[in-house]
Amino acid sequence: MSELKNIPSFRLIKTFGRLKGRSLSKNQKFGLSMLKEKYDGFLDTKKKIWLEVGFGNGHHLVELAKRNCDKLIVGSEVYENGVATTCFSLFQNKIENARVFHGDARELLHLFEHEVFDRLYFLFPDPWTKKRHRSRRLLSSPNIEYFSKILKSKGYICIATDVEDYFLEIENTFSKLYQFQKLHVLPKEKNLKFFLDLKTKYEQKAISKGGTPSYLVYKKV
């Protein structure tokens, strides 16, 4: 997937903050070398493919891969430290059914001009709470349209957020998209058929601050 870096970038509104954090540890540097060697490969598989966008420290991605050996689990993340930690963890756990794209997930559209993913995860995307930053939301209406192009029909989009107005915005956008059917009835209840019984870093943060996340599932019909 690294060949994407050679494609002239098209104009997309930035949905992320930092690309790099503190200097990489020895394990993280090793993780990045493994990205090139092992996890950056092309998705040539007969397995169903699930994509997690913005996987952060990769805790959920690694667990998703461990528990779903019959699927290929792909993660996309722009933050180098997160990518490095995740690749190290994939290697440590001897996980073979995972691939990592270090970059903006929307660039995947250049690679796949057709519907390729069976499931998409967006867990606690950056909320961009200031009004003037709203257009940066990963799940803005134009971005949802981008992502729906790479989702197969009968595929699912699984979303979690603890920000109430983001939740309402997402519901509103999907309600206007005839190709999606809403599956969640009680968004405050986590449907374990689609979400793992573990908490991501940002889920833990939200809950420890007294927030109650919403969990949404949409099916492409």
Q: Which residues are designated catalytic?
A: 126
Residue 85's alpha-carbon distances to 41, 55, 164, 194, 218, in angstroms, are 18, 11, 30, 25, 30
Q: Output phi, psi for 43, to 5 deg.
A: -90, 60
* Closer residue to ligand SAM (CB): 56 or 155: 56
The binding track of 87-126 with respect to ligand SAM, each residue x by CB under 6 A or -, is -----------------xxx----------------xxxx
Residues 191-210 that bind ligand SAM (CB under 6 A): 200-203
Burial environment of residue 121 by CB neighbours within 10 A (0 to 12, 13 to 18, 19 or more)? buried
Q: Does 162 bind ligand SAM (CB under 6 A)?
A: no
Tell me how far apart the alpha carbons of residues 34 and 177 are, in angstroms, rounded to a whole number: 39
Q: Output phi, psi for 205, to 5 deg.
A: -55, -50
Q: Can you tell me which of 1, 31, 34, 54 binds ligand SAM, judged by CB under 6 A?
A: 54
List beta partners, residue 75. 52, 100
Give yes or no for a contact between 160 and 198, defined as CB atoms under 8 angstroms apart: no
CB of 215 to ligand SAM, least distance (A): 12
Q: Which stretch binds ligand SAM (CB under 6 A): 48-56, 88-96, 110-118, 187-195?
A: 48-56
Give yes or no for a contact between 39 and 107, defined as CB atoms under 8 angstroms apart: no
CB of 25 to ligand SAM, least distance (A): 18
Q: Can you tell me which of 34, 78, 87, 151 binds ligand SAM, judged by CB under 6 A?
A: 78
- Site of interaction with ligand SAM (CB under 6 A): 15-16, 53-56, 76-79, 82, 104-106, 123-126, 138, 200-203
